[in-house]
Amino acid sequence: MTVRETAQEIDGVAADWVARLDRGALSPQEDQALEDWLNGDPRRLGAFARARAVSLSSERAKALGAQFCPDDFMTPEADAERGVPETPERRSDSPRRYDPPRRYDPMSGKKIVPRAGVSRRRFVWGGALAAGFGGLAITGLGLPSYGKEYVTHLGEVKVVPMADGSVISLNTDSRIRVLYTRNQREVHLEKGEVLFEVAPDASRPFVVKALGTDVFAIGTSFTVRKLGEVGVQVLVREGLVKINRHNQDSRAVEVGANRRAIVQAGDAPPTPVARVETYPVARDLAWREGRIAFEGESLSSAAAEFRRYSDTRILIEDPDVASETITGLFQSNDPVGFARAVAASFDLRAEVSEKQVRLYR
């Protein structure tokens, strides 16, 4: 099975085309390029049509009027993300760094910084809080010096858009602390696996730290996964990252797109900083859409992978069954559905009990 372009990737290109059309008419060459792209996969036309529909639908925003102030509509989650204080005592004179609430002058489009003491209109609505932006919910408040904490529980995936335009996606059972300062954007990976889509900003490097390993983004998108306490795995989707250990810049390695680097925490010089190899990165990113992709993996390693997302265990005692291989895309939070589908296609039995599915012949 070749790695299929994901729906998300298609959506990304579709959005590019719609934004291009929003700018003005296409040249004949561009028109041809769009046509060629659309012909490449039946889903693309659908994504493109949908992107145009979403774009058109957003034109209703005009009804919000020139006086529209987005901060009046910030949900508390989004506020927290931007570092806007929650309580009245933490005003603009607080030592904590935050972006002041933004208002826009309708004529110049420039931000207007409100005078201290001007109270903001606040919307508090029970159930709607859960909606936030893209269903985003942020756990943990974090302390200023310590950074802001983001956590996902077992089987949960969370997408966090940052104020600088970067997007951070947390896979199952993960924890990070984010510390943006004037000179650096720093993320500490304490547990799990996280995808970083980094907005370029030459004046503020973006670095991910885990187990004494520093991963520097150079205009890029990559994941960092902590392999327990023994190592760190880095998958590079786009661009380039630089990895070093314990600030030894002279020994840093650079890792390019579609490659995987494994850093062993125990390794000391003169072993290389990381083992780097070519790797099907796109397939490993299925988790962003709540999926797990397999391509010829054994059932036992598939079962282990599902264990990362759910506390329901897939138990395979028969070694012959365990070594059967599987290919396909599955819902990561549904080990039982996976086991049943496997049972059906390998002619096995699936015995479902609480927190366990047993597969046997």
**Which residue number, 55 or 356, has a Cβ lying nearer to another protein?**
55
β-partners of residue 160 are 168
**Which residue number, 267 or 298, has a Cβ lying nearer to another protein?**
298
In this chain, which of 88, 109, 266, 319 binds another protein, going by CB under 8 A?
109
Could you tell me the maximum CA-CA distance found in the chain, to the nearest angstrom?
72
Distances (CA, A) of 102 to 96, 122, 204: 17, 14, 22
**Which residue number, 12 or 272, has a Cβ lying nearer to another protein?**
12
Instruction: Tokens for 135, please give them.
Output: 């269903």
**DSSP class per residue in 78-93:** HHHHHT--SSTTS-TT
Taking the complex as a whole, how short is the minimal distance between the CB of residue 277 and another protein, in angstroms? 28
Q: Is 112 in the site for another protein (CB under 8 A)?
A: no
Taking the complex as a whole, how short is the minimal distance between the CB of residue 5 and another protein, in angstroms? 10
Taking the complex as a whole, how short is the minimal distance between the CB of residue 53 and another protein, in angstroms? 4
Q: Which of residues 206-245 bind another protein (CB under 8 A)?
A: none
Q: Is 71 in the site for another protein (CB under 8 A)?
A: yes
| Cα–Cα distance, 280 to 257 (Å, whole number) | 10
Q: If residue 258 lies in a helix (H) or strand (E), which one and from where to where?
A: none
Distances (CA, A) of 235 to 198, 215, 242, 243, 257: 14, 11, 12, 12, 8
Give a three-class secondary structure readout of 270-284: CCCCCEEEECCHHHH
Taking the complex as a whole, how short is the minimal distance between the CB of residue 29 and another protein, in angstroms? 15
Taking the complex as a whole, how short is the minimal distance between the CB of residue 296 and another protein, in angstroms? 13
- Give the dihedral sign, CA 123/86/195/18: positive
Binding pattern for the stretch 254-293 against another protein, x by CB under 8 A and - elsewhere = -----------------------------------xxx--
Contact window for another protein (CB under 8 A) among 33-41, 224-232, 248-256, 259-267? 33-41
Q: Which of residues 167-186 bind another protein (CB under 8 A)?
A: 167
Q: Which of residues 120-159 bind another protein (CB under 8 A)?
A: 127-128, 130-136, 159
Q: Is 106 in the site for another protein (CB under 8 A)?
A: yes
In this chain, which of 3, 32, 40, 70 binds another protein, going by CB under 8 A?
70
Q: Is 40 in the site for another protein (CB under 8 A)?
A: no
Q: Is 163 in the site for another protein (CB under 8 A)?
A: yes
Taking the complex as a whole, how short is the minimal distance between the CB of residue 235 and another protein, in angstroms? 21
For tokens 């925490």, what's the residue? 265
Cβ neighbour number for residue 66 with a 10 Å cutoff: 9
Taking the complex as a whole, how short is the minimal distance between the CB of residue 205 and another protein, in angstroms? 17
Q: Which of residues 321-360 bind another protein (CB under 8 A)?
A: 328-331, 334, 337-338, 340-342, 344-345
| Cα–Cα distance, 25 to 15 (Å, whole number) | 16
Q: Is 108 in the site for another protein (CB under 8 A)?
A: yes
| Cα–Cα distance, 313 to 361 (Å, whole number) | 18
**Which residue number, 272 or 337, has a Cβ lying nearer to another protein?**
337
**Which residue number, 80 or 232, has a Cβ lying nearer to another protein?**
80
Q: Is 78 in the site for another protein (CB under 8 A)?
A: yes
Distances (CA, A) of 39 to 19, 32, 34, 46: 19, 11, 9, 11
β-partners of residue 107 are none
Q: Is 18 in the site for another protein (CB under 8 A)?
A: yes
Q: Is 202 in the site for another protein (CB under 8 A)?
A: no
Q: Is 161 in the site for another protein (CB under 8 A)?
A: yes
**Which residue number, 38 or 252, has a Cβ lying nearer to another protein?**
38
In this chain, which of 32, 40, 73, 122 binds another protein, going by CB under 8 A?
73
Long-range contacts of 347-355 (CB under 8 A, 24+ apart): 348/321, 355/311, 355/312, 355/313
Angle between helix 335-346 and helix 299-307 axes, rounded to 10 deg: 170
